């Protein structure tokens, strides 16, 4: 590719001997990571190249020259040739002022002067062109295990540093230098577009666009240029919504304006992060050692798609919430891969001594669990989110509101989503993208505490003592971790679909479409998290072993079952971003033994794999992580637990009936017709595997005898979903037993939870999520939304014969023994209080 003049004089042009000497010294120490690696492919063939960097400085010029040489690009330190007019001594310029060691008015030229010279030359030669290549240079981006602790203090930031500090940064962090080449811009094309404008205005516009480009790249790599925390707090307190809330609070609580203002200021200080680049770099250095100690590897998938979206967008990270490790892990991964860590919404319970200030400087801002009754706190918090939004700060929060104790995605709490949409309507400077993230573990630090909480034990409050006590986790090994970036949700596209008139809506109004749009966004985020699931060996072991009463299975059967699951997920992909372990069934079993999830019992007729005691209970968490991937297959299997033959049309009819409840519980991605198509494809898969046979007309499905391998595989697969239908039947049975107009939705939830707990005790169901109150609440809500039940004027639940039809369909799935057991355990309705006896008539005088 020819990018400079091909004359002999041009070929002989070389940098001065002084620059070559300094460059050799610097090259012996500096190690450059280029992005993209094949930067030469970006250039326009045959057009002279002029590089544009952000700041002048000898080190930046030499780093640019080294990067160009390593990438096979034209030199930046030779005169720019190929254009007529005044010849420049170098083929680069910066968008900032040149700082001279000694004050020299001749060298303090306007930043636009080099650009103006090139524009003048092109105006004199209409047939010539120059391509401008913006190049961003960062010294000290990513720490590694060999990095010195002191080097974190001299990492790249927004401050323009002096020569001595730059020299220290090169000495300490020169081996972690990042050079990013951007797509070139044809200067001739710009001049043609702006030919009607004055020359000075065109030059200023090009310079402004270049400066904005460098700010955008720097913001994506090291984070936005945040002012001091006190400045952000002052902006929050002085904002109009907060001042109005402050005045209202002063009147309501009989406070002076000064007292109310101080309370608002204290709230803002309690909330606000105190982001520090050196602290973030220090934490990254520490966490690198921490992950290597407790994990066998951290795998990240689909990150390249995020990297392509992040520049120019306001990115809101919305991961699933499984562990306290989630936000540390995600921030560390982003930082080490060249994207600034987000500001993270953390519960105020984590604002502990020592830990709180560290998290705050790492980008955490704290919020109370509930602040609906505190109008001033709500106004301050909303304004703080808006201020971050206006400053271009990426955010991270968990739409579930808290950590999942069951391994399933929780029903979303939409408060932060609503604040984000309002901030966008108020400050829509950049497009917003929500980035769902799935985080999959093979062992959880909090596993035992989750089991205790689901069993009724109170949640242990976070404390400094508890934090110190948890240091013992460093002695354990937690397997591998997968972080999958799901399909992003673009806010503008969602608004255009849900509310086409949103652009005409004022930021402070409450339009009728707002609540619907927030709910739709929350559901889409959860669906996309599930569509980016990672299926690890422990997930597959859990789905298989927990289907047996004693959590045990013969090795030969377990191998067959694992092969069935892997084939089902591979042949019928749930989503393009789902990742599946590449281990064979035999390797999966060996790995589960290594991780101490299973125990092998030797036997002459064949070894047995089992998971004992609490290990089996803990495995239910990892089964629930991927339960949605098996929903269609498990539902079909449930239909054949008590039936050997069933019409294909009957399976489809029941699928349409049950799908809304499964979709709400598992955040499945299909509409009703899409689920039917999935059911049909899964049936065909089972036929190919020999699990089903078809009659001559292909209308009736037949499974093998109950003692056969095919029936065993179906029963094992069905078990993962069977408990959901048992919960559904509990709710229906309790409601029918009490009758209409007798209990409220909240009372039904409590009665269902108690019934499930008792059933679990009597039948030794080692699945704490079986009596999770939130799951019953979601099912009852779906019954209400589909008008199967409704609330009367007194707040009690009413229903008609449609509920009895639903109960009849349960016979297809649940055995008579299970149904009768649930009906027996369902609590009897309390007898209605007898009406008070009428008062006795007054005694009459006999004389009367």
Query: What is the mean pLDDT of the segment spanning 549-558?
Result: 93
Query: What is the mean pLDDT of the segment spanning 48-76?
Result: 89
Local structure of 835: helix, strand or coil = coil
For the cut 60, the answer to whether the pLDDT of residue 101 exceeds it is: no
For the cut 60, the answer to whether the pLDDT of residue 283 exceeds it is: yes
Long-range contacts from 387-390, C-beta under 8 angstroms, 24+ separation: 387/232, 387/235, 387/236, 387/239, 388/232, 388/343, 389/314, 389/420, 389/423, 389/424, 389/427, 390/423, 390/427, 390/429
**CA dist 744 → 566, 640, 717, 726, 795 (Å):** 44, 35, 35, 21, 6
Query: What is the mean pLDDT of the segment spanning 722-736?
Result: 89
Query: What is the mean pLDDT of the segment spanning 638-657?
Result: 92
Are 26 and 126 part of one and the same domain?
Answer: yes
Q: Residue 456: its pLDDT value, please?
A: 60
Are 207 and 248 part of one and the same domain?
Answer: no
| Integer Cα distance of 510 and 436 in angstroms | 27
Residues 109-143 have pLDDT tens digits of 667 888 888 888 888 888 889 999 999 988 875 44
Cα-to-chain-centroid distance, residue 724: 26
Task: Check which CATH number belongs to the domain holding 593 and give it.
Answer: 1.10.10.10
Cis peptide before 31 (omega within 30 of 0): no
**Mean pLDDT for the chain?**
84
Query: What is the mean pLDDT of the segment spanning 95-107?
Result: 57
Query: What is the mean pLDDT of the segment spanning 622-638?
Result: 95
| pLDDT higher at 105 or 735 | 735
Q: Residue 472: its pLDDT value, please?
A: 67
DSSP-derived secondary structure for 681-700: HHHHHHHHTTSEEE-TTS-E
Are 213 and 239 part of one and the same domain?
Answer: no
Q: Residue 337: its pLDDT value, please?
A: 86
Indicate the pairing of strand 395-396 with strand 343-347. parallel
Query: What is the mean pLDDT of the segment spanning 337-363?
Result: 88
Residue 514 lies in a domain: no
Are 736 and 814 part of one and the same domain?
Answer: yes
Residue 34 lies in a domain: yes
For the cut 90, the answer to whether the pLDDT of residue 373 exceeds it is: no
| pLDDT higher at 629 or 505 | 629
Are 323 and 402 part of one and the same domain?
Answer: yes
Q: Could you give the angle at the alpha carbon of 750 between the alpha carbons of 746 and 752, nearest 5°?
A: 115
Residue 845 lies in a domain: no
Q: Residue 667: its pLDDT value, please?
A: 96
| pLDDT higher at 467 or 41 | 41
Least confident of 261-270, 617-626, 765-774: 765-774
CB 203 within 8 A of CB 119: yes
Q: Rounded to 5, what percent of the chain is helix, strand, coil?
A: 55, 10, 35
| Integer Cα distance of 561 and 540 in angstroms | 9
Residue 294 lies in a domain: yes
The sign of the torsion formed by the CA atoms of 271, 277, 282, 288 equals: positive
Residue 631 lies in a domain: yes
Residues 650-698 have pLDDT tens digits of 999 999 989 999 999 999 999 999 999 999 999 999 999 999 999 888 8
Enclosing H/E stretch for 298: strand 297-301
Residues 779-796 have pLDDT tens digits of 899 888 888 899 999 999
For the cut 80, the answer to whether the pLDDT of residue 510 exceeds it is: no
The sign of the torsion formed by the CA atoms of 152, 157, 160, 163 equals: positive
Nearest Cα to Cα of residue 571 among 686, 711, 690, 719: 686
Residue 317 lies in a domain: yes
Q: Residue 602: its pLDDT value, please?
A: 94
> Cα(first)–Cα(last) distance of the chain, in Å?
129
CB 539 within 8 A of CB 441: no
| Integer Cα distance of 256 and 249 in angstroms | 10
CB 378 within 8 A of CB 372: yes
Q: Residue 653: its pLDDT value, please?
A: 92
Q: How confident is the model at residue 11 (pLDDT cuts 50, 70, 90)?
A: very low
Question: Percent of the chain scored above 70 by pLDDT?
Answer: 86
Nearest Cα to Cα of residue 177 among 126, 143, 206, 141: 141
Query: What is the mean pLDDT of the segment spanning 821-835?
Result: 73
Q: Residue 847: its pLDDT value, please?
A: 36
Are 240 and 203 part of one and the same domain?
Answer: no
Residues 477-504 have pLDDT tens digits of 899 999 999 999 999 999 999 999 888 7
Q: How confident is the model at residue 287 (pLDDT cuts 50, 70, 90)?
A: confident
Q: How confident is the model at residue 514 (pLDDT cuts 50, 70, 90)?
A: very high
Task: Check which CATH number belongs to the domain holding 32 and give it.
Answer: 3.40.1130
Are 278 and 403 part of one and the same domain?
Answer: yes
Residues 415-461 have pLDDT tens digits of 999 999 988 988 777 899 999 999 999 998 887 777 776 666 666 66
Query: What is the mean pLDDT of the segment spanning 528-556?
Result: 95
- Number of Cβ within 10 Å of residue 712's Cβ equals 18
Are 218 and 242 part of one and the same domain?
Answer: no
Task: Check which CATH number belongs to the domain holding 729 and give it.
Answer: 1.10.10
Long-range contacts from 608-613, C-beta under 8 angstroms, 24+ separation: 608/552, 608/553, 608/554, 608/555, 609/545, 609/552, 609/553, 609/554, 609/555, 609/558, 610/545, 610/550, 610/551, 610/552, 610/553, 611/541, 611/545, 611/546, 611/551, 611/552, 612/551
Query: What is the mean pLDDT of the segment spanning 39-57?
Result: 88
Are 60 and 201 part of one and the same domain?
Answer: yes
**Domain range holding 458?**
229-490
Residues 583-599 have pLDDT tens digits of 999 999 999 999 999 99
Are 779 and 703 part of one and the same domain?
Answer: no
Are 206 and 313 part of one and the same domain?
Answer: no
For the cut 60, the answer to whether the pLDDT of residue 48 exceeds it is: yes
Q: Residue 77: its pLDDT value, please?
A: 87
CB 571 within 8 A of CB 678: no
Q: Residue 14: its pLDDT value, please?
A: 74
Least confident of 137-141, 144-148, 709-713: 144-148
Number of domains the chain contains: 4
Q: Residue 468: its pLDDT value, please?
A: 53
Least confident of 291-295, 450-454, 599-603: 450-454
**What are φ and ψ of residue 398, in 5° steps?**
-105, 110
Query: What is the mean pLDDT of the segment spanning 64-90?
Result: 81
Q: Residue 279: its pLDDT value, please?
A: 81
Domain ends where: 222, 239, 266?
222
Q: Which residues pair with 552 in a beta bridge?
A: 610
- Number of Cβ within 10 Å of residue 831's Cβ equals 6
Domain ends where: 470, 490, 510?
490
Phi-psi region of 163 (alpha: psi -120 to 50; beta: other; left: phi over 0): alpha
Rounded to two decimals, the pTM is 0.75
Residues 175-216 have pLDDT tens digits of 778 888 998 999 999 999 888 888 888 998 999 899 888 888
| pLDDT higher at 407 or 3 | 407
For the cut 50, the answer to whether the pLDDT of residue 848 exceeds it is: no
Residue 147 lies in a domain: yes
Q: Which residues lie below 8 Å from residue 510, measured CB to CB, with a gap of 6+?
A: none
For the cut 50, the answer to whether the pLDDT of residue 700 exceeds it is: yes
| pLDDT higher at 769 or 107 | 769
Are 276 and 139 part of one and the same domain?
Answer: no
Residue 564 lies in a domain: yes
**What are φ and ψ of residue 488, in 5° steps?**
-70, 155
Query: What is the mean pLDDT of the segment spanning 148-172?
Result: 56
């Amino acid at each position: 590719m020819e990018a400079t003049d091909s004359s002999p004089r041009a070929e002989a042009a070389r940098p001065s001997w002084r620059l070559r000497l300094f460059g050799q010294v610097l090259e012996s120490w500096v190690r450059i990571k280029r992005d993209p690696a094949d930067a030469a492919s970006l250039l326009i063939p045959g057009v002279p190249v002029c590089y544009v960097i952000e700041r002048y400085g000898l080190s930046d010029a030499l780093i640019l020259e080294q990067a160009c040489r390593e990438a096979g690009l034209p030199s930046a330190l030779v005169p720019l040739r190929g254009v007529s007019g005044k010849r420049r001594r170098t083929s680069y310029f910066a968008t900032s002022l040149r700082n001279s060691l000694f004050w020299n008015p001749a060298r303090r030229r306007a930043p636009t002067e080099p650009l103006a010279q090139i524009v003048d030359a092109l105006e004199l030669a209409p047939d010539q062109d120059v391509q401008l290549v913006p190049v961003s240079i960062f010294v000290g981006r990513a720490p590694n295990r060999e990095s010195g602790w002191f080097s974190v203090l001299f990492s790249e930031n927004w401050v323009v540093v002096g020569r001595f500090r730059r020299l220290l940064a090169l000495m300490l962090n020169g081996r972690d230098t990042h050079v990013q080449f951007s797509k070139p811009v044809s200067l001739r094309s710009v001049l043609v577009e702006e030919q009607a404008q004055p020359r000075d205005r065109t030059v200023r516009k090009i310079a402004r666009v270049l400066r904005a480009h460098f700010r955008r790249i720097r913001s994506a790599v090291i984070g936005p240029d945040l002012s001091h925390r006190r400045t952000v707090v002052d902006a929050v307190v002085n904002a109009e919504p907060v001042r109005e809330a402050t005045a209202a609070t002063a009147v309501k609580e009989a406070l002076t304006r000064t007292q109310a203002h101080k309370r608002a200021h204290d709230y803002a200080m309690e909330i606000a992060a105190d982001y520090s680049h050196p602290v973030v770099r220090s934490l990254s250095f520490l966490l690198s050692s921490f992950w290597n100690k407790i994990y066998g590897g951290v795998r990240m998938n689909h990150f390249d798609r995020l990297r392509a979206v992040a520049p120019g967008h306001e990115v809101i990270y919305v991961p699933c919430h499984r562990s306290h490790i989630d936000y540390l892990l995600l921030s560390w991964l982003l930082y080490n891969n060249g994207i600034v860590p987000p500001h993270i919404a953390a519960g105020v319970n984590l604002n502990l001594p020592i830990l709180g200030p560290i998290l705050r400087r790492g980008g955490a801002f704290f919020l109370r669990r509930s602040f609906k009754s505190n109008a001033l706190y709500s106004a301050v918090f909303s304004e703080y989110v808006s201020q971050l939004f206006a400053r271009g700060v990426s955010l991270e929060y968990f739409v579930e509101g808290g950590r999942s104790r069951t391994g399933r995605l929780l029903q979303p709490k939409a408060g932060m989503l609503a604040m984000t949409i309002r901030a966008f309507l108020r400050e829509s400077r950049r497009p917003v993208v929500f980035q769902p993230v799935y985080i999959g573990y093979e062992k959880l630090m909090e596993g035992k505490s989750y089991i205790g909480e689901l069993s009724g034990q109170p949640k242990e409050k976070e404390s400094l003592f508890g934090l110190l006590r948890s240091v013992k986790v460093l002695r354990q090994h937690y397997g591998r971790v997968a972080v999958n970036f799901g399909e992003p949700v673009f806010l503008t596209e969602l608004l255009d679909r849900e509310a086409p008139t949103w652009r005409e809506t004022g930021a402070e109004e409450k339009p009728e479409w707002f609540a619907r749009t927030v709910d739709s966004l929350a559901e889409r985020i959860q669906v996309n998290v599930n569509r980016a699931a990672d299926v690890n060996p422990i997930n597959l072991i859990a789905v298989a072993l927990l289907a047996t009463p004693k959590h045990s299975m013969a090795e030969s059967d377990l191998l067959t079952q694992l092969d069935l699951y892997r084939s089902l997920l591979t042949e019928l992909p749930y989503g393009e971003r789902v990742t599946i372990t590449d281990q064979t069934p035999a390797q999966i079993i060996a790995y589960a033994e290594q991780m101490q999830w299973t125990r092998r019992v030797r036997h002459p007729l064949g070894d047995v794999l089992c998971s004992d005691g609490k290990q089996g209970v803990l495995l239910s968490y990892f089964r629930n992580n991927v339960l949605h991937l098996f929903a269609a297959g498990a539902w079909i299997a449930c239909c054949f637990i008590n039936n050997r033959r069933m019409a294909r049309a009957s399976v489809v009819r029941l699928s349409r009936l049950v799908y809304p409840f499964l979709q709400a519980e598992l955040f499945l991605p299909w509409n009703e017709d899409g689920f039917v198509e999935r059911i049909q494809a899964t049936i065909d898969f089972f036929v190919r595997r020999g699990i089903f046979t078809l009659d001559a007309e292909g209308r009736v499905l037949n499974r093998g005898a109950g003692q056969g391998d095919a029936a065993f595989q179906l029963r094992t697969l069905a078990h993962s979903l069977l408990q959901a239908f048992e919960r559904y039947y509990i709710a229906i049975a309790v409601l029918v037993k009490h009758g209409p107009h007798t209990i409220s939705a909240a009372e039904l939830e409590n009665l269902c939870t108690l019934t499930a707990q008792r059933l679990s005790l009597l039948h030794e169901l080692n699945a704490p999520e079986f009596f999770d109150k939130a799951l019953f609440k979601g099912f009852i809500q779906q019954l209400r939304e589909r008008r199967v039940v409704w609330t009367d004027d007194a707040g009690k639940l009413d229903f008609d014969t449609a509920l009895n039809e639903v109960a009849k369909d349960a016979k297809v799935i649940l055995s008579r023994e299970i149904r009768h057991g649930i009906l027996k355990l369902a609590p009897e309705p309390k007898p209605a209080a007898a009406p008070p006896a009428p008062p006795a008539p007054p005694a009459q005088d006999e004389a009367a």
